[in-house]
Chain A
Amino acid sequence: MDRNQIVQPENIVCKKPTLLNDNNMHYCPGCSHGVVHKLIAEVIEEMGMEEKAVGVSPVGCAVFAYNYIDIDWQEAAHGRAPAIATGIKRCWPDRLVFTYQGDGDLACIGTCETIHALNRGENIVIIFVNNAIYGMTGGQMAPTTLIGQKTSTCPYGRDPQLHGYPLKMADIAAGLEGTCYVTRQSVETVGAILKAKKALKKAFQASMDGKGSSLVEFVSTCNSGWKLTPAKANEWMKENMFPFYPKGDLKDTTGLK
């Protein structure tokens, strides 16, 4: 069998989702953002919600998320995405509304908006890409930076006496009345990606079913900020991030499979 027989449209088993357009994404090579974008595009397509989805993008590396997924977006001020998403969903209850935020956006400047939107039980999905660093502004400490981890504003390693402790937003979210689904996923292996996609779909479906708010955290890498290759960054994440931010469902009252 020669290659031409294999490379035929009917034999495609994996391709870039149509909803992820042809613009080259600006993220660093190996960045977890790209995979998460792909999953969002795939799930919206599979749910048939392309014409009814509205995303809210953050300030952070994913500020240009609206350039890559072919749905309607709003760009939020830093940390304010959950408030904007609330306004959209309250006025358009039949839309699929989600935010896409990094650790600075969601867990630092936007903690207030995050917690309050989740706790009001807004029927939105908050997507949280957690790589324990501020990537876009050059690698400063984030509220999720680990103890001992070095960044440009804790160059000698995060020290609780000076910098306080890392924040586990998913745990906080799981304790809020308004949330129906809180989960931690990752996207560095095929197995993890397949689980992550299922989790994302459950969250989106729960929001359309009016079950309340969801937080889907993606424990991620930032190879530029961590100053590691993409492969080494995945290793570092497994050794250091996963023990502190354990994966799995922290809360699930959706009743969905």
Chain B
Amino acid sequence: MKGAIVVDTERCKGCQLCIIACPQKVIALANKVNLHGYPYVEAVNEESCVGCASCGIVCPDGCITVYRKKMEE
């Protein structure tokens, strides 16, 4: 399975709970802030994402949409 995430950066508050939940070290805090002044997260290692959705499940603000597709042989 291959996964990918889309982060709603304006909803994100940089709490970093997704970073801790991710088993694949896909996510990190970006070196930027959104319009509300919060630093937000981004996928820095998306090649490793398997679409387990741990990040989306733990996110308190519902910022992360998680996609998963079965890899074709």
Binding site for B on A (CB under 8 A): 1, 3, 5-8, 11-17, 20, 24-25, 27-35, 38, 187-190, 193-194, 229-231, 234
| B3-24 at interface with A (beta carbon < 8 Å) | 3-4, 6, 8, 10-11, 13-17, 20-21
A31 to B13, CA, bound (A): 10
- Does B48 make an interface contact (CB < 8 A)? no
Contact A29 B15 (CB under 8 A): yes
Q: Which interface residue of A28, A34, A38 has the most chain B CB atoms within 10 A? A: A34
Q: Which residue of A lies closest to B39 (CB)?
A: A29
B53 contacts A by Cβ under 8 Å: yes
A-contacting residues of B (Cβ < 8 Å)?
2-4, 6, 8, 10-11, 13-17, 20-21, 36, 38, 46, 51, 53-54, 56-69, 71-72
A35 touching B69 in the complex, CB below 8 Å, given contacts A3-B46, A13-B53, A230-B15:
no
The A-B contact count (CB < 8 A) is: 99
**A30 and B68 contact, CB distance less than 8 A:** no
Q: Nearest Cβ distance between residue A62 and chain B, in whole angstroms? A: 13
**Contacts A1-B2, A7-B4 given; does A32 touch B60 at CB 8 Å:** yes
Contact between A231 and B16 (Cβ–Cβ < 8 Å)?
Answer: yes
Chain A contacts for B61, CB-based, 8 A: 24-25, 27, 34
For A13, give the chain B residue with the smallest CB separation.
B68
Whole-angstrom distance between the alpha carbons of A193 and B71 in the complex? 28
11 contacts between A and B (CB under 8 A): A1-B2, A6-B4, A14-B64, A15-B56, A30-B16, A30-B60, A33-B60, A35-B58, A189-B58, A194-B57, A234-B17
A13/B67 in contact, CB under 8 A: yes
Q: How far is the CA of A7 from the CA of B10 in the complex (A)?
A: 19
Establish whether residues B67 and A6, one from each chain, have CB atoms under 8 Å apart when the complex forms: yes
Residues of A within 8 A of B10 (CB): 24
